Chain A
Amino acid sequence: RKEVEQDPGPFNVPEGATVAFNCTYSNSASQSFFWYRQDCRKEPKLLMSVYSSGNEDGRFTAQLNRASQYISLLIRDSKLSDSATYLCVAGGNYGQNFVFGPGTRLSVLP
């Protein structure tokens, strides 16, 4: 079993749709959680950190459920520019041992 698992995708959605990404992690000692986006042939870029209380940044909302070891990302009113692969990450408390999920590809269609 992979340490971080994500929906296999790909997701193809029309512009304006709401799309949800799900992620589970198996290491209960994980302390920090993130969502990254990666465009084709580019480096991963930090989208948002995920906190226990949940956090929102514009059209993006991230949630963490430690009891279920589950992380989610919701994108509302999706734009063409949101097309990318979304990576879920679980890591240690001090920036070490970041484990990446395999990613879920999103295509937003006009």
Chain B
Amino acid sequence: NAGVTQTPKFQVLKTGQSMTLQCAQDMNHEYMSWYRQDPGMGLRLIHYSVGAGITDQGEVPNGYNVSRSTTEDFPLRLLSAAPSQTSVYFCASSGRTGGGYEQYFGPGTRLTVT
């Protein structure tokens, strides 16, 4: 059981480039989310999905797209990278454990936009 996996671990982009951050989970979780974490800001929700084919915006969705064609995969696409998108990106999935839902995180992607 790999849990939540993310690729790449590190990425450097130039302003205006696009790229896709990959996220996959093998726990058959319904819910998946993308967060970004900046110093002093804590984790902020970008987009989330409550199941295949269903996505919704979080707190900071601008500049990002997501899709959820399968239960396992939830890629995050940066449309036109900007220096303000330099951050650490975490993907997470949520599944029912005992009486409630618990969220598990991938190892993160450290993105720098120059």
Contact = CB atoms under 8 A, between A and B. Distances in A.
A98 interface: yes
B33 interface: yes
Contacts of B40: 102
B42 A103 contact: yes
B78 interface: no
Interface string B90-114: 1010111111111111111000000
A43 B103 CA distance: 12
A101 B96 CA distance: 22
Interface residues of B, number: 31
A99 B45 contact: yes
Interface in B49-63: 50
Contact of B94 (A43, A98, A101, A103): A98
Contacts of A44: 43, 90, 105
Contact of B95 (A31, A95, A98): A95
A27 B90 CA distance: 24
Nearest to A50: B100
Interface of A: 31-32, 34, 41-46, 49, 51, 87, 89, 91, 93-103
